[in-house]
Structure 1
């Protein structure tokens, strides 16, 4: 019997690394300080909504995926109906 390996948790840092972006490069693209990116990645702060939208767009992920990566509870948040 084969057991699937546990799914690796996606973090803000892992999404950034998948795009081969440094904190400095991502910060430049978002017109922010690289320290801000580090605070988000370290869980010390979360982005304002406008910055979260820009960050999700830059990383190519949904806002729900971004929220999960930042360890925010999204239980009960509906998905968009298109």
Structure 2
């Protein structure tokens, strides 16, 4: 992705950086194309489960996705390292 100030990143920028069209993203997520357009125009935001799927499809962290949708993510901690115990391959 181009080096852009975090404040100027939009959902459309993220989608285009992932080389996806609205119809492609719509199909991959199983939602209508109008929903993608609504999200990009800021007319609505996705439910949490769809936000997770959207972040996955775009290859971005949820925090980046929330920020590009105009949500305040200050004081939200970054993801924690995996809490699962490390396996020993001995």
TM-score range, shorter chain: 0.7 to 0.9
Q: Is it true that 1:81 corresponds to 2:80 in the alignment?
A: yes
Structure 2 segments unaligned to the other structure (5+ residues):
82-90
Contact 2:18–2:59 (CA under 8 A) maintained in structure 1: no
Which of 1 and 2 has greater Rg? 2
**Aligned-residue CA RMSD (Å):** 1.3
Contact 2:66–2:73 (CA under 8 A) maintained in structure 1: yes
Per the normalisation by structure 2, the TM-score is 0.80
Aligned to 2:5: 7
Runs of 4+ in 1 over 4 A off after TM superposition: none
Q: Is it true that 1:23 corresponds to 2:22 in the alignment?
A: yes
Measured against aligned partners, the alpha-carbon deviations of 1:33-69 in whole angstroms (never above 9, x if no partner) come to 0000000000000000000000000000000000011
Structure 1 segments unaligned to the other structure (5+ residues):
1-5
**Correspondence list, 1:1-82, <5 A:** 7=5, 9-82=8-81
Measure how far apart 1:25 and its partner are: 0.6
